[in-house]
Amino acid sequence: MKVTVSRKAHFNAAHRLYRKDWSFEKNDEIFGKCNNPNFHGHNYELIVSVTGEIDEDTGYVIDMKILKDIIKSEVEDAFDHKNLNIEVPEFKELNPTAENIVVVIYNKMRAKLSLNLDLEITLYETPRNFVTYSGN
């Protein structure tokens, strides 16, 4: 009897899409106005979904307070009000597209959760664009 438990969270950050090993022209061609060297930014909205058996004692798949604390330490404290390119080590050499950010968040969360639990991360870059990753 596996149930999925989901929790919403959010953080604000600046970023720039580009590759250091490409010319400005090539970055501009591929990333358009997202390649602005002065950065732009987003309110990232996050859904963390954890799937597992309901614990018969508590009626919980996972205690929401514990999940909230892991999201805070792994995602909010690490990314909120940050410049992703400059201040978040995972993006020193990795282009902070929504796709790459969702994989980084998945890997950070995955390392803190029991292997009995499946994990899926959905990340809204804007209210109209979002990405989902579940480790496959």
Contact 48, 132 (CB under 8 A): no
φ, ψ for residue 101, nearest 5 deg: -65, -40
The one catalytic residue among 34, 76, 87, 99 = 34
Active-site residue flag, 34: yes
Query: Considering beta carbons, is residue 65 or 115 the nearer one to a copy of itself?
Result: 65
Residue from 24, 86, 92, 116 touching a copy of itself (CB under 8 A): that is 86
Should residue 102 be labelled a site residue for a copy of itself when binding is judged by CB under 8 A? yes
CB nearer to a copy of itself: give 42 or 108.
42
Q: Is 20 in the site for a copy of itself (CB under 8 A)?
A: no
The DSSP bridge pattern shows strands 118-126 and 40-53 to be: antiparallel
For a copy of itself, the binding residue among 24, 25, 38, 93 (CB under 8 A) is 38
74 is catalytic: no
Enumerate residues 6+ apart whose C-beta is below 8 A from 104: 90, 91, 94
Is 34 among the residues that bind a copy of itself (CB under 8 A)?
A: yes
Strand blocks (E) in 16-127: 40-53, 82-83, 118-126
Q: Which residues are known catalytic residues? A: 34, 81, 125
